[in-house]
Amino acid sequence: MVRRGRHAGAWKNVVLTQDEQFALKRRALLRQAARAFSEKGYHDTSLTDVAKALGVTKSALYYYVDDKQEILFECHKLSHDFGDQAIEYAEKHGRNGREKISLLVRTYLELLTSELGACAVLLEFNALTPANRKIIGRRRDTFEHYFRKLVQTGIADGSLRKVDPKLTVFFFMGAVNWLTRWFDPSGEHSGEHIAKEFAGLLDAAIRSR
């Protein structure tokens, strides 16, 4: 969906500009859809439902989005942005493989849990169009590949025991993706707590003794 522009005027108004309102509403739409997707799954979520939840008609949604698939695609992209952020952070502050992994995991989980709506969609990978699947798949591969290399680094620098990097990454990614299904922001465990606990579990699983 590409927004057709309209001249924004010489100076920003105090209230929101049309473009900002557009962006805001679109975001609300994405959030609501993502929430619904994670609850009932992509295919069982009708756009009519989403629209109703937003107090609007299905037709209105199509003003902000080309089609249903675009929503899902956008959600996936948003989720992967968190991965990128986490990588950046880990790379900057970690001093060896083990530290970087702990930071990566913890940061990633904190971001995910803080804005879960966008991410609960990770499980809906095969609801993506083949074309989109290719794009998202590539991004996921990049993430996992980086993660795997981190494990190898850790083994090389002695901070980790000798585990299978590939399986270790899969092991953890599963735990994370699954998290998006049971995590409840208003539940007994806070996102930070879970992030810390999971990071601790993984760390214990792979650190050198």
| Stretch 44-73: interaction string toward its own copies, x if CB under 8 A | x-----------------------------
Residues 86 and 111 sit within 8 Å (Cβ to Cβ): yes
Residue 82 sits in the site that holds its own copies (CB under 8 A): no
Measured from the CB atom, the residue of 26 and 38 that comes closer to its own copies is: 38
Which of the listed partners (its own copies, DNA, none) does 69 bind, with a CB threshold of 5 to 8 Å by partner kind?
Answer: DNA
Burial string for 97-109 (b: 16+ CB within 10 Å, else e) reads: bbbbbbbbbbbbb
3-state secondary structure of 101: helix
Q: Which of 13, 16, 53 is nearest to 33 (CA)?
A: 53
Write the DSSP symbol of residue 160.
B
Of 32, 38, 45, 153, which one interacts with DNA (CB under 7 A)?
Answer: 45
| Stretch 10-39: interaction string toward its own copies, x if CB under 8 A | -----------------------------x
DSSP 22-67: HHHHHHHHHHHHHHHHHHH-STT--HHHHHHHTTS-HHHHTTT-S-
Residue 131 sits in the site that holds DNA (CB under 7 A): no
Write the DSSP symbol of residue 3.
P
Residues 198 and 175 sit within 8 Å (Cβ to Cβ): yes
Stretch that binds its own copies, among 15-23, 67-75, 84-92, 178-186 (CB under 8 A): 178-186
Q: CB of 122: closest distance to its own copies in angstroms?
A: 10
Stretch that binds DNA, among 3-11, 79-87, 130-138, 167-175 (CB under 7 A): 3-11
Among all chains, which residue has been given the structure tokens 């991004």?
139
Beta-carbon contacts of 146 under 8 Å, excluding residues fewer than 6 positions away, are: 87
Of 58, 145, 161, 189, which one interacts with DNA (CB under 7 A)?
Answer: 58
| Stretch 5-34: interaction string toward DNA, x if CB under 7 A | -x--x---x-x--x--xx--x---------
Residue 62 sits in the site that holds DNA (CB under 7 A): yes
Residue 85 sits in the site that holds DNA (CB under 7 A): no
Cα gap 90→65, rounded to integer Å: 34
Kindly state the tokens that stand for 187: 């539940």
Residue 135 sits in the site that holds its own copies (CB under 8 A): no
Measured from the CB atom, the residue of 12 and 161 that comes closer to its own copies is: 161
